[in-house]
Amino acid sequence: MSDAGDERIRVDKWLWAARFFKTRSLAADAVESGKVVLNGARIKPAKGLRVGDELQIRTPGSDYTVHVTALSDKRGSAALAALLFQETPESCARREMARATRSPRDPSSFIQGRPTKRARRQLDRLRDDSDVG
C-alpha cells in the first residue's frame, strides 16, 4: 500500500486488490462494460487511479460509491483491502435500503419435479429432527 501524491495504478488492479471483484479479468470486464465510473466518466481498465478519486462500482451484489484512500496492486486480506477506500454515507444508506427491501428467496423455487431418493432421505431426516423438539 502506498499513498504518494502523483502515483497511479491501473483501475482493474486496484478493484481486484480492494476485493470488489474476485479476479482481475472480472474487474477489467466490469470496467470495459461501463460498470465502473471514475469521477463521473466511463474509463478503460488501464486508466490510472489516484488517491482521492471517486469510483462508482456496480457489482452483482450491490452498488458502491467510494473514495480512493490508498493505492495497492497486491491483493491482501479483507482488513487491508478495507483501508484502500472509504465508502460514502449515501452509498451505505442505499445498500442498507436495498438489503431491507430485498425479499428472501422462496426455497421451493429451487425444487424442480419430484425429489430424488437422496433428497427424500434428507427431507425425512429433517422432519424427524424437527418432530423431536
CB burial string 23-40: b at 16+ within 10 A, e below: ebebbbebbeeebbbbee
Q: Is residue 126 part of a domain?
A: no
Residue 19 located in a structural domain: yes
Residue 4 lies in a domain: no
Instruction: Give domain status of residue 123, yes or no.
Output: no
pLDDT for residue 99 is more than 90: no
Please check whether residue 22 lies inside any domain of the structure. yes
Tell me which residue range forms the domain holding 89: 9-101
In a domain, 124, yes or no: no
The burial of 56, by beta-carbon neighbours within 10 Å (0-12 exposed, 13-18 middle, 19 or more buried), is given as middle
Q: How many domains does the chain have?
A: 1
Residue 74 clears pLDDT 60, i.e. is over it: yes
Cell of 91: 452509498
Q: Is pLDDT at 123 greater than 80 in this prediction?
A: yes
For residue 81, being part of any structural domain is answered with yes
Q: Say what the pTM is.
A: 0.73
Which residue do the cell numbers 472509504 mark? 86
Q: Is 19 helix (H, G, I), strand (E, B) or coil?
A: coil
CATH number at residue 46: 3.10.290.10
Give residue-wise pLDDT tens across range 12-71: 999 999 999 999 999 999 999 999 999 999 999 999 999 999 999 998 878 999 999 999
For 85-91, what is the mean pLDDT?
94
pLDDT exceeds cutoff 80 at 101 = yes
